[in-house]
Amino acid sequence: MRLPFPLLADEEGKVAGEWHMACDDDAWLRNRSCRGAFIIDRHMTIRYRWIPPNPHMGPDVLSLLREASAIAKR
């Protein structure tokens, strides 16, 4: 799948720690980032964020795509 924007790979967890997304309280996810999604515009402004109440929940991908599409049209 080709995307017209970059994705972040945070293998060392540095960004997760800086953005307070580290799952240190979860035994299975310890030393990893919690799930979440951020849509950042070309001016580096966060336009949308999705952080689940449970770190094991996956995102509603269709909702994320709708948000991204709406933001791209602004």
Domain spans in the chain, listed from the N-terminal domain onward: 35-74
Q: Provide the terminal-to-terminal Cα distance of the chain, rounded to the nearest Å.
A: 24
**Is the model's pLDDT at 1 over the cut of 80?**
no
**Predicted structure pTM score:** 0.69
Q: Please, what is the Cα angle at 61 between 60 and 63, to 5 degrees?
A: 70
Q: Which two tokens stand for residue 60?
A: 């509603």
d(CA 28, CA 32): 9
CA dist., res. 47 & res. 44, Å (int): 9
pLDDT band at 12, cuts 50/70/90? confident
